[in-house]
Amino acid sequence: MVSISQNLQAVRQRIDAAAASALRAPQSVSLLAVSKTFGADAVIAAAQAGQRAFGENYLQEALDKMAAVRAAHPGLLLEWHFIGPIQSNKTRPIAENFDWVHSVDREKIAQRLNDQRPADLPPLNVCLQVNISGEDSKSGAAPGDVPELARRISVMPRLRLRGLMTIPEPADDPQEQRVPLRRLRELQTLLQDQGLNLDTLSMGMSSDLEAAVAEGATIVRIGTAIFGHRHYAT
């Protein structure tokens, strides 16, 4: 049976190869291990293989997992990223417990995260989620709304606006995969030209990692290729 450690090594090799093909430095692409639906033991196994950044979609599951990891390994310092849809009544524990939030898509949520971020913690790193493919089923701000939203969030003192995130419409062809990812990169460039200091493009998953790296991803969010297929509760 292939281990999480072996899977991580294989994913890192994919990232290195994709970066080399795009004439990028491998260290310019960070790996976010998406551990949703997997237990604390899977996180610990990945951490023991050198992984430090973990992405979670479901708040209560994530909080329980964080507590279990801390109890098992009190000295293990991990970076936790919230990457799922955010309900208004869930912003306080997200602001209190996470290092990054990738899924901010409206000003109200950003303002609540800002107001509820504890003063003894660094500003919360946030990305704006963009519905780059315009799918009704996907969360995210419309591309045309992003510049004004970014300007409003960029001045919130307890947030640090880092960049953009997207979950594009799935495609099998690598060239088709690159089209929406390129649009996100171009949107980031537009915002940079308007004076916003954005350094992050959170895009690319197990199936389109190579396309994302080719289009400039700085964080790839990989779950299945590390932990295996998920089994959701019914």
Model confidence pLDDT, tens digit, residues 75-114: 999 999 999 999 999 999 999 999 999 999 999 999 999 9
Using DSSP's 3-state secondary structure scheme, residue 143 falls into helix
What is the pTM assigned to this prediction?
0.95
Per-residue pLDDT averaged across 191-198, rounded? 97
CATH T-level assignment (fold) for domain 4-227: TIM Barrel (3.20.20)
Spatial contact of 194 and 183, defined as CB atoms under 8 Å apart:
no
116-175 pLDDT, tens digit each = 999 999 999 999 999 998 877 788 999 999 999 999 999 999 999 999 999 999 999 999
Query: What residues does each domain of the chain span?
Result: 4-227
**Buried/exposed 79-91: b ≥16 CB within 10 Å, e otherwise:** ebbbbbebeeebb
The band of 57, judged by pLDDT with boundaries at 50, 70 and 90, is very high
The band of 1, judged by pLDDT with boundaries at 50, 70 and 90, is low
